[in-house]
Amino acid sequence: AGAAILHLHARDPKDGRPSQEPALFQEFLPRIKAETDAVINITSGGSPHMTVEERLKPAHHFKPEVASLNMGSMNFGLYPMLGRFKEFRHDWERQHLENSRDLV
């Protein structure tokens, strides 16, 4: 038993921000590919504040079996989490959630 598809995101290790930089994916993709036969699905989500070109960088670079394609706003309205969380690990997180109010 195990995962059939692994949907993967990357974050900047300095501040935890979502990142679509291929170099960050390179840090974990080879090991995952070597240790599993699951289908690799690289996200194109990144952040709704990124351009489409930025969001597609790792998929273009690595050419995974599957890449997500988030074209709508269905999962980008993250602001309700402001009511659930009062403390954040990184300075950018509160503003990131607040800025998702008008991404529809």
Q: How far, in Å, are 2, 92, 98 from residue 89 at the CA level?
A: 31, 9, 16
pLDDT band of 71, cuts 50, 70, 90? low
pTM over the 0.85 mark = no
Mean pLDDT of 48-69: 88
Higher pLDDT, 72 or 51: 51
Q: What is the pLDDT of residues 16-55, one digit of tens each?
A: 999 999 999 999 999 999 999 899 999 887 777 788 889 8
Which strands make up the sheet holding 5-8, listed edge to edge?
Answer: 5-8, 39-42, 66-67
> What single DSSP character describes residue 102?
G
